Amino acid sequence: MRPIALSLVPLLAFAGAAQAEFRISVGTRTAADLPAVIETIAGRYDATLRHALPEISAASFVVGDSRVLAEIRADADVARVAKWIEPVGRCSVPAGETPYAIERGGGGGRPGADYKPNDPAYGKQWPLPCVSANLAWDHIQTGDVMIAIVDTGIDLYHEDLRAHLNTIDDWDFVNDDDFPMDDYGHGTHVAGIAAAVMDNGVGIAGAFQAELVAVKVLDSNGSGWWDDVAAGIDHAVAIGADVINMSLGGSSSDPILKAACDAAWAADVLVVAAAGNSGPGFFANYPATYTSVIGVGALGGFLFGDCEKAAFFSQRGFGDDTTPGNVEVMAPGKFVYSCYPNDEYVRMDGTSMASPHVAALCAAYRAWKPGWSAVDIRHHIQASADELGAKFTFGYGRIDFFPPVD
């Protein structure tokens, strides 16, 4: 395995084999129907149970191929109680999100006697004054709030994250273990934006000082399966997460993903997702488009971190809690400076970087107004957003951390 040239071919062959894996999900009419269906499918079709999710009356399996799917669909014992029997799709981090180090600024934000943290790279974080997070810090910086980062994992040892990490309740749904280490880099960057440790004299300041829990659902290439994402959402709800951030997406809906998102929202959890990076010609990335999910577009213009203009890559299409669509609010997603594995810091561009600003705002409201429901918080975020233009592009507008008052 050591010589790189020799290992390339087997690695590629293995990657090809992994892609050929075939998964299905089955939703049942009631949770009580689920155990018998699992037993039937596992017993009759040589299927390997991947996830049993009684909270959403669903399960997923690895099966031989699409012919097995047809056989299961034709099985009367399964079909009688099934709401759906579908192949599971793939998802990934949005396209084009690669780290870089060039120094390019951007600006915006309001003047004021705002809070000044001691983190050395705070001056590189144009997004924070853009959404007035620094003004909100005069009033509230932290609270007993948990944000689940459903992503590629988090660097569990990062100097500017580890003090906020809940490593008891975290989980790796790719490798099926209790150590959701980030082997790609994306989730670490996303986590830092939301809640890197502020005022520790190190690195950056997260937008809100919340507990972070890593829920790894994307692999070392930034790709994953929707049933693993659904299991991750289900897990986040079970451990008491207040907010779920999904800086990931796919172009087609998936019933097990939708069931998990809808169940989280129904359980009073705020679910936030990236709108996608395929540009203004595209809308309806999943899960951002679901009404149970707050879809987030990116601000930043083309060349600079422009606080008023949509980033050129940001997908479009208005949506909220009653209207399907992916852009509910906007947050900065260009030249975003944040944590990267091995105590590094990089800039990245993407709606993935916009989404955790909104997750942090949701967490801030959870701390500021503990009596508010997720619906209350979502509606307040919509109503207090700064309008920037057409709803189809900007949704309700740019999120505003200040004033977080009613």
182 interacts with Ca ion by CB under 5 A: no
33 interacts with Ca ion by CB under 5 A: no
Least distance to Ca ion from the beta carbon of 51, Å? 19
Instruction: Please identify, among the stretches 118-126, 139-147, 211-219, 370-378, the one whose residues bind Ca ion according to the rule CB under 5 A.
Output: 118-126
Is the distance from CB of 318 to CB of 325 less than 8 angstroms?
A: yes
Window 272-311: residues binding Ca ion (CB under 5 A): 293, 295
In angstroms, rounded to a whole number, what is the distance separating the alpha carbons of residues 60 and 52?
7
142 interacts with Ca ion by CB under 5 A: no
Catalytic residue selected from 151, 183, 227, 234: 151
Of 184 and 345, CB closest to Ca ion: 345
Q: Which residues contact 26 (CB under 8 A, 6 or more apart)?
A: 37, 41, 58, 59, 60, 61, 72, 78, 82, 84, 85
Please provide residue 113's backbone torsions phi and psi, each rounded to the nearest 5 degrees: -80, 65
Q: Which two tokens stand for residue 370?
A: 């503990």
Of 136 and 293, CB closest to Ca ion: 293
262 interacts with Ca ion by CB under 5 A: no
Quote the Cα angle for 96-392-224, to 5°: 35
Catalytic residue selected from 57, 247, 352, 384: 352
Is the distance from CB of 236 to CB of 273 less than 8 angstroms?
A: no
Instruction: Reply yes or no on whether 320 is catalytic.
Output: no
Out of 33, 86, 97, 119, the residue judged to bind Ca ion by CB under 5 A: 119
Least distance to Ca ion from the beta carbon of 363, Å? 17
Least distance to Ca ion from the beta carbon of 172, Å? 8
Instruction: Please identify, among the stretches 26-34, 65-73, 160-168, 338-346, the one whose residues bind Ca ion according to the rule CB under 5 A.
Output: 160-168
Using alpha carbons, select from 383, 381, 357 the residue that is nearest to residue 369.
Answer: 381
169 interacts with Ca ion by CB under 5 A: no
In angstroms, rounded to a whole number, what is the distance separating the alpha carbons of residues 261 and 356?
17
Out of 153, 192, 203, 250, the residue judged to bind Ca ion by CB under 5 A: 203
167 interacts with Ca ion by CB under 5 A: yes
Using alpha carbons, select from 118, 143, 388 the residue that is nearest to residue 242.
Answer: 143
Out of 86, 170, 172, 228, the residue judged to bind Ca ion by CB under 5 A: 170
Least distance to Ca ion from the beta carbon of 125, Å? 10
Structure-token match 């289900």, residue found: 234
Instruction: Reply yes or no on whether 379 is catalytic.
Output: no
In angstroms, rounded to a whole number, what is the distance separating the alpha carbons of residues 85 and 99?
39
Of 19 and 322, CB closest to Ca ion: 322
Of 40 and 200, CB closest to Ca ion: 200
Instruction: Reply yes or no on whether 164 is catalytic.
Output: no
Using alpha carbons, select from 284, 368, 366 the residue that is nearest to residue 326.
Answer: 284
b/e sequence 29-45, b meaning 16+ C-beta within 10 Å: eeeebbeebbebbeeeb
Least distance to Ca ion from the beta carbon of 166, Å? 8
Least distance to Ca ion from the beta carbon of 226, Å? 17
Window 304-363: residues binding Ca ion (CB under 5 A): 319
Using alpha carbons, select from 329, 323, 252, 336 the residue that is nearest to residue 297.
Answer: 329
The catalytic residues are 151, 186, 352
Q: By CB under 5 A, name the binding residues for Ca ion.
A: 119, 160, 167, 170, 178, 197, 200, 202-203, 293, 295, 319
